[in-house]
């Protein structure tokens, strides 16, 4: 995996390093090692007093997974429908403004990953690629942040950002 810095410098995260990551906190630590400080702070920080960020982390900590032993798990199915779209798992890729700052493939890579996993990619209005380019990855896609969807959506689709 290559991370592109704003000045075009790349730093690599080798396979061995990636294999040592087993949870999101580990990936966060790895990202901190390879990203320039300003990008790391943009990615890891929250808005203003970071109250919502803290609430989100606390909310996830309150969710407990209860292991259910001796159940037949031969046929597992996490598929459901979100926004009328069938998805393989109830997990979507959240919108991030211009992820090409972190990786040159930006939202194209994220949308490809969503398509491969059978779920929905949510494009930010701060996208670095046009909606048409992202749509070519064949990912199911939703668009956020458009209070006036017809106007802003049209300009994104035509590439006139």
Ligand X SMILES: Cc1cc2nc3c(=O)[nH]c(=O)nc-3n(C[C@H](O)[C@H](O)[C@H](O)COP(=O)(O)O)c2cc1C
Residue 144: CA atoms inside 13 Å, Cβ hemisphere, count? 13
- Nearest to ligand X of 14, 60 (CB atom): 60
- Nearest to ligand X of 61, 71 (CB atom): 61
If binding means CB under 6 A, how many residues of this protein chain bind ligand X?
A: 11
Q: What is the footprint of ligand X within residues 88-147 (CB under 6 A)? A: 94-97, 124, 126, 144-145
Asked if 5 touches ligand X (CB under 6 A), the answer is no
Contacts of range 100-106, beta carbons closer than 8 Å, 24 or more positions apart? 100/4, 100/128, 100/129, 101/4, 101/6, 101/39, 101/42, 101/128, 102/3, 102/4, 102/35, 102/39, 102/43, 103/1, 103/2, 103/3, 103/4, 104/2, 104/4
- Nearest to ligand X of 35, 137 (CB atom): 35
Q: Supply the minimum distance, in Å, between the C-beta of residue 24 and ligand X.
A: 9
Nearest to 131 by CA among 151, 97, 155: 155
**121 — phi, psi (to 5°)?**
-100, 130
Q: Supply the minimum distance, in Å, between the C-beta of residue 38 and ligand X.
A: 12
What is the per-residue binding string for ligand X in 50-89, x denoting contact by CB under 6 A?
Answer: ------x---------------------------------
- Nearest to ligand X of 15, 156 (CB atom): 156
- Summarize as ranges the residues that interact with ligand X (CB under 6 A): 42-43, 56, 94-97, 124, 126, 144-145
């Amino acid at each position: 995996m290559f991370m592109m810095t704003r000045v075009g410098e790349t730093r690599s995260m080798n396979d061995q390093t990636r294999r040592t990551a087993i949870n999101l906190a580990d990936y966060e630590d790895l990202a901190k090692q390879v990203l320039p400080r300003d990008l790391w702070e943009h990615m890891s920080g929250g808005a203003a007093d970071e109250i919502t960020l803290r609430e989100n982390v606390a909310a996830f900590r309150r969710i407990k997974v209860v292991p259910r032993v001796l159940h037949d798990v031969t046929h597992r199915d996490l598929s459901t429908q979100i926004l009328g779209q069938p998805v393989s798992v109830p997990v979507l890729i959240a919108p991030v403004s211009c992820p090409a700052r972190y990786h040159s493939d930006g939202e194209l890579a994220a949308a490809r990953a969503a398509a491969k996993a059978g779920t929905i990619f949510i494009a930010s209005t701060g996208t670095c690629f046009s909606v048409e380019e992202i749509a070519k990855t064949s990912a199911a896609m939703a668009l956020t942040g458009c209070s006036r969807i017809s106007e802003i959506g049209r300009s994104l689709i035509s590439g006139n950002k």
